[in-house]
Amino acid sequence: MELLQGRIRDYAWGSRTAIAELQGRPVPSDGPEAELWLGAHPGAPATVQRDGRPVSLTELLVAEPGHWLGERLVGRFGTRLPFLLKVLAADTPLSLQAHPDAEQARAGHAADVGRVNYVDPYHKPELLVALSEFEALCGFRDPGESAAAIAAFGVPALEPVVAALRDGPAGLREAVRLLLSWPRAERAGLVAAVLAAAEAGPDSADAGLVRTLAAGYPDDPGVVVALLLHHVRLAPGEGIWMPAGNLHAYLRGTGVEIMAASDNVLRGGLTAKRVDVDELLRVLRFEVLTEPVLGPEQVEPGVLTWPVPVEDFALHRVEVAAGSPGVRLTLPGPRVVLCRSGKLSVDDGVGVVTLDAGQAAIGAAAGGPLTVAGAGEAFVATCGMH
């Protein structure tokens, strides 16, 4: 194992406390800290020390793919780390978005000469596990519920949207199309009408959501699109799984996120960035998500996981009690370990690293089983191939 120095991304929606507190730095931080990246993503690769200088993980994977990734992983994904582990800390809502599946990403990247929608040929499924109370929008809820929720605001202009939703799942696509194609000159008026109804009448979670979103996006029809989705409130340890075609948005909170390493994002609102309505409609899966919350499964004493159906990544949480012999994990390499709390030693038979809260380590595929000892909590990211 080797110490891994992550990179902090300073997106405007980030927290000025969560990541700093995790790493034991002064609070508040000088500016927003949205994500701590622990991987080899070319946009902000983590580093390890070589001869007293930081060397990017991306550079090492290309130079020594067999050592770091192993032949099997190279054969499947090439000389790149297929996953990216993050700590995500949101103080304000992120954009409504969805990601393509693997086939759509490959075809879109090949055809998208300007790399407007598809900047790489990879899919981007995501799993987020809450570290604090966490709010998100995730997946379409029953369209009958959405129709009733929107009708309760009593805005006449939204009657065609309500009518489409009353057609059931078949009407979801039309409802989303109507909202995202709303005439630009009329968007501020639409949001103002819905907000006025929320402030004057409905005492509901939907009204509260509208008030929150409209405060930041007063002319964005994504405020109404949000009412078509599950409004999820996660307790620490609960997760949400976002496969291809799932419309979602993070609203508030801190979590550990693991995702396939890709930048392919199709936005649908709550953003000043570009929204390609036609391409988003092509990628979205207009299916009702019956259960948006993903609970953990115990693998063995002290070890939890959140099973997801992809080969790119897997995430485990390890809790080690003081005085115990530690936990031994046989997981495919490479492995990235993030210490959430306490002080832990991680040993892959090649090297031993001691981690404090907020620190991370990486072990190559060439290493052996992973032993986590000491006292504390860690998250371990690996590929999902068995």
Pairing of strands 35-38, 303-305: unpaired
Residue type (1 letter), 36 = L
User: pLDDT truncated to tens, each residue of the chain (386 aa)?
Assistant: 999 999 999 999 999 999 999 999 999 999 999 999 999 999 999 999 999 999 999 999 999 999 999 999 999 999 999 999 999 999 999 999 999 999 999 999 999 767 788 999 999 999 999 999 999 999 999 999 999 999 999 999 999 999 999 998 889 999 999 999 999 999 999 999 999 999 997 878 999 999 999 999 999 999 999 999 999 999 999 999 999 999 999 999 999 999 999 999 999 999 999 899 999 999 999 999 989 999 999 999 999 999 999 999 999 999 999 999 999 999 988 999 999 999 999 999 999 999 999 999 999 999 999 999 999 999 999 999 87
Buried b (16+ CB within 10 A) or exposed e, 91-124: bbbbbbbbbbebebbbebbeeeeeeebbbbbbbb
What is the distance of C-alpha 121 from the center of its chain? 19
Residue 45 sits at φ, ψ, to 5 deg, of -70, 140
Hey, what domains does the chain have and what are their CATH numbers? 2-139+232-294 (2.60.120.10), 142-226 (no CATH), 298-382 (2.60.120.10)
Binding site listing for Zn(2+): 97, 99, 126, 248
Supply the residues annotated as catalytic: 267
Distances in Å between the Cα of 310 and the Cα atoms of 139, 180, 281, 295, 299 are 18, 30, 23, 17, 18
The helix (H) or strand (E) run that includes residue 48 is: strand 47-50
